[in-house]
Amino acid sequence: MPQAVALTVLPLALFAGTASAGTASGAGTASVAASTSSKAVFVLDADSGVFGTTSSKSATASSNSSSASVKNQVTAGTTYIGEAADSQILTAGEQRVIADITLASSPNKAERAAWAASSKFVDLSWPDLGASSYTVYRNGVKIADTAAHSLRDTGVTAGSQAEYKIFGVADGLGHTWGLTATVPKNDSPETLAATASQIETKAKKYTKTVVTWRSFIRQKWATVPKKLGSVSGCKYTTGYKYAGDNRGFSKAVSGTSFRAGVRGVVYWTKSQYELYPQTGWTKVYNAKTGKFVEKRKASTKKIDFRTMTRFDGKTRAVRGTIEATDPFCPKTGVKRAGIGVTYDARLARNGDFYVSGKYRKAPDHEMYLFGYTSNTKHSTKVVHQSKMSNLLCLSQPMCERGTIGNSGGY
């Protein structure tokens, strides 16, 4: 029997005169590392949330294609149940590893991902949700595209940390897992036990996670195309221009300009959470003279963030929604258009996460997780960055929604 051990905005202003093709971060642009992937042995059974003797698809070396079902003879050893993270010692034959199982016990199968590491490799596991392919990144560099739902990465260094993201699209939703693996210095029982303590100590340093979504206009000025002006129903179209945010993606916690956004705060030492819905000023100018005409702010009534599960100090499910329309345009009816975002996430105190969601492909969007260890010190996780695809995407029926993807780690 395994032993358990306790360890103490807005749409109109988005009408830029020229629109670039939309791209999401990590989608076909990242460099690809030399093949370091092979068949994983320590694979989490997502149905039960436990490691053990499983039969599953696993990525193969070099080709990154999926193999036939492989029997993994894995035995669970000491389990470390902490206040902030959970880990477990596993063995397969003579091989011992340390595994982080914090997300493995999530009530939602889609959230159950895990890593298991020796000093020479990291085995990654995530649920098979039906995606035709999953893309795996290590430290921002793509290492595999695979139809499997597990992978062994041998391109790691003993005594280091490796940050992973896994992304796939299934049933019209993007699914992204973020895992930060602690690679032990060696595989001795003493070192693996010390690594379990290290995982708990690191997780306990985080006191809160701030979830930030911002939708912004990249251009300095935005104008309404003629073909849209006559049908938009908006107050200012031909002959007017709108002030954009005039910036690119930014990891700054605050101080950046945007059209609409939401900031949610999840605390790890108390059950309280906080919601900060925000919209920016929509400023209208005369296109010829540049003279200021009028400014308004959109309503924040349909911008929301909330926790979906009770406080336990380790993980918490959250949901965010943004529906924001131009204050100079119709707010209801068939002409209504605007920023639209929905996401569900499972946040772990140790920095791991799962995010699923969709968004209208206009304007530009960015999503970040800031993990705080004090009032001023924080780590940054880039969850999503995407450029505007097409102006018509402000109207939901005109474009298929984009899927939220991941980039980065604590």
**Residue at 409 is within a domain:** no
Q: Are residues 196 and 239 in the same domain?
A: no
Per-residue confidence (pLDDT) for residue 296, from 0 to 100: 97
In a domain, 408, yes or no: no
Summary mean pLDDT of the chain: 86
Q: Is residue 230 part of a domain?
A: yes
How, if at all, do strands 75-82 and 4-7 pair? parallel
- Same-domain check for residues 176 and 31: yes
In a domain, 339, yes or no: yes
Q: What are phi and psi of 208, to 5 degrees?
A: -160, 155
The CATH number given to whatever domain includes residue 171 is: 2.60.40.10
Please, which residues bridge with residue 153 across strands?
37, 122
195 and 212 housed in the same domain: no
State whether 199 and 218 are in the same domain. no
Burial 208-218 (b: 16+ CB within 10 A, else e): bbbbbbbbbbb
- 305 and 365: one domain? yes
Domain that holds residue 136: 4-204
Q: Are 94 and 85 in contact (CB under 8 A)?
A: no
- Per-residue pLDDT of 174-229, as tens digits, reads 999 999 999 999 999 999 999 999 999 999 999 999 999 999 999 999 887 676 66
User: Which residue in the block uniquely carries the two structure tokens 């053990």?
Assistant: 52
Residue spans of alpha helices (H) in 85-137: none
Q: Which residues, given as ranges, of the chain have pLDDT below 70?
A: 1-35, 53-72, 225, 227-231, 333-336, 391-392, 395-397, 406-410
In the beta sheet, which residues pair with residue 270?
none
Q: State the pLDDT at residue 406.
A: 44
Same domain, 196 and 217: no
Taken in order 139, 107, 306, 372, is the CA torsion positive or negative? negative
Q: Is residue 200 part of a domain?
A: yes
CA 222/CA 13 separation, integer angstroms: 6
Paired sense of beta strands 315-325 and 303-307, if any: antiparallel
pTM of the model: 0.87
pLDDT one-digit tens code per residue, 91-120:
999 999 999 999 999 999 999 999 999 999
